[in-house]
């Protein structure tokens, strides 16, 4: 199979439109049309991970963090980062990065983190891409109605509104504007050409709001200190940073945002969070968080390595469903640059 088949299926879960501005998400290195047999899933693309991929015989590395955050102004191989690019290219390895689109996707990175923490009644934290809703009014032969509606509801997530009987049969559905092209293509495949037509009008309500981060409730209240210890256990880390004036405070509402999320602490406060779990909190931001009365657990950026097992499981599920001739493995390497001593 070609790498594009895996990429296309993944982008149904986390389309590139979800990525945040200027984020280098998507294809990083290589040709998406190349044939792949083995895929290595990783959080980071580091020299040791590239060696792991080569040893495995992988033709594709699927990463969360982009390997190329900043453009290269030359390819001087004395620079270890640029030498790594050359090694990737020399071994014809394709690198794809799913970064802020995976962070924002439903069922993506931040849902995995919220589940790991045991949060309940989970909702979104930081608004990102908003998918608009439209009403699609369809006129189709009566004989085709059931099949057309079945397609629109199952493949496009549409909801049927009503029926009206004329020369054919007319009904309307509500669906996301982003799914309109697929809806039209699908109905074209069902109804003979020229025997159906449709009209589209915008809806002022509805649609779908994608978000980065999640907020939810603990099953049972616990102290800030106990929750911090809970985070260490859940994420399998030996240390973390705690920002709190009252570690003995009982808390129950928690916000989480994987990666560098300190700048979004106002969103955590607005959501009623008593504790905010995120990485890479800066010194002065920590002071601001204390002044605002927010408890913060900084377990580091590397907790996003939860994606390795989650993506590998997901890809293997798709492999079975689609009979893909693929071997998919999660990287066994720890790419956290920090060690607690």
Concatenating the DSSP letter of every residue in 197-253 gives: EEEEEE-SS--EEEEEEEEEEEEEEEEHHHHHHHHHHHHT-S--EEE-S-TT-EEEE
CA-CA distance, 57 to 47, in Å (whole number)?
15
- Binding-site members are 64-65, 103, 301, 304
Q: How confident is the model at residue 166 (pLDDT cuts 50, 70, 90)?
A: low
8 A C-beta contact, residue 108 and residue 13? yes
The predicted structure's pLDDT at residue 107: 97
Residue 13 tokens, joined: 């879960």
Q: Which superfamily is assigned to 3-102+305-330 in CATH?
A: NIF3 (NGG1p interacting factor 3)-like (3.40.1390.30)
Q: Could you say which architecture CATH assigns to the domain 133-202?
A: 2-Layer Sandwich (3.30)
Residue keyed to tokens 């693309």: 45
The predicted structure's pLDDT at residue 183: 95
- Binding-site members for a divalent metal cation are 64-65, 103, 301, 304
| Mean pLDDT in residue range 113-141 | 96
> Is the pLDDT confidence value at 127 over 80?
yes
Task: Identify the CA nearest to 64 among candidates 324, 326, 301, 244.
Answer: 301
| Mean pLDDT in residue range 88-100 | 98
**Intrachain domains 109-128+212-299 and 133-202 with the same fold:** no
Facing residues of 176 across strands? Answer: 133
Q: From edge to edge, which strands make up the β-sheet containing 94-97?
A: 26-29, 94-97, 60-63, 38-42, 327-330
pLDDT tens for residues 27-79? Answer: 999 999 999 999 999 999 999 999 999 999 999 999 999 999 888 889 999 99
What lies within 8 Å, CB to CB, of 50 at 6+ separation is 61, 84, 87, 88, 91, 93
Give the domain ranges of the chain. Answer: 3-102+305-330, 109-128+212-299, 133-202
In CATH, the number for domain 109-128+212-299 is 3.40.1390.30
> Is the pLDDT confidence value at 162 over 90?
no
CA-CA distance, 30 to 32, in Å (whole number)?
6
pLDDT tens for residues 184-215? Answer: 999 999 998 889 999 999 998 889 999 999 99
The predicted structure's pLDDT at residue 204: 86
The predicted structure's pLDDT at residue 169: 87
Tell me the CA end-to-end span of the chain in Å, nearest whole number: 46
Percent pLDDT > 70 in the chain is 99
Q: How confident is the model at residue 19 (pLDDT cuts 50, 70, 90)?
A: very high
CA-CA distance, 43 to 335, in Å (whole number)?
8
pLDDT tens for residues 284-323? Answer: 999 999 999 999 999 999 999 999 999 999 999 999 999 9
Mean of the per-residue pLDDT values for the chain? 96
The predicted structure's pLDDT at residue 72: 85
């Amino acid at each position: 199979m070609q790498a594009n088949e895996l990429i296309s299926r993944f982008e149904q879960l986390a389309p590139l439109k979800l990525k945040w501005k200027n984020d280098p998400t998507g294809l990083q290195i290589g040709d998406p049309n190349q044939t792949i047999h083995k895929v290595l899933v990783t959080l980071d693309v580091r020299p040791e991970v590239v060696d792991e991929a080569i040893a495995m015989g992988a033709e594709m590395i699927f990463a969360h963090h982009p390997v190329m955050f900043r453009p290269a102004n030359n390819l001087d191989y004395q620079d270890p980062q640029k030498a790594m690019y050359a090694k990737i290219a020399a071994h014809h390895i394709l690198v794809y990065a799913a970064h802020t689109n995976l962070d924002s996707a439903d069922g993506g990175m931040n849902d995995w983190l919220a589940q790991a923490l045991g949060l309940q009644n989970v909702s979104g934290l930081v608004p990102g891409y908003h998918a608009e809703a439209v009403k699609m009014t369809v006129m189709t032969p009566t004989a085709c109605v059931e099949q057309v509606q079945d397609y629109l509801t199952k493949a496009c997530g549409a909801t049927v509104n009503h029926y009206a009987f004329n020369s054919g049969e007319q009904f309307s559905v509500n669906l996301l504007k982003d799914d309109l092209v697929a809806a039209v293509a699908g109905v074209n495949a069902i109804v003979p050409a020229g025997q159906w037509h449709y009209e589209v009008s915008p809806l002022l309500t509805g649609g779908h709001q994608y978000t980065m981060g999640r907020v939810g409730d603990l099953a049972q209240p616990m102290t800030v200190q106990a929750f911090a210890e809970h985070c260490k256990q859940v994420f399998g880390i030996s240390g973390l940073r705690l920002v709190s004036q009252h570690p003995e405070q009982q808390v129950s509402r928690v916000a989480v945002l994987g990666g560098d999320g300190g700048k979004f602490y106002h969103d955590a406060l607005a959501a009623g969070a008593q504790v905010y779990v995120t990485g890479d909190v800066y010194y002065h931001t920590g002071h601001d968080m204390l002044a605002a009365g927010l408890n913060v657990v900084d377990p580091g950026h590397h907790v996003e390595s939860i994606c390795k097992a989650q993506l590998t499981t997901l890809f293997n599920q798709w492999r079975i469903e689609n009979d893909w001739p693929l071997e998919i493995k999660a990287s066994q390497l720890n790419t956290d640059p920090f060690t607690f001593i």
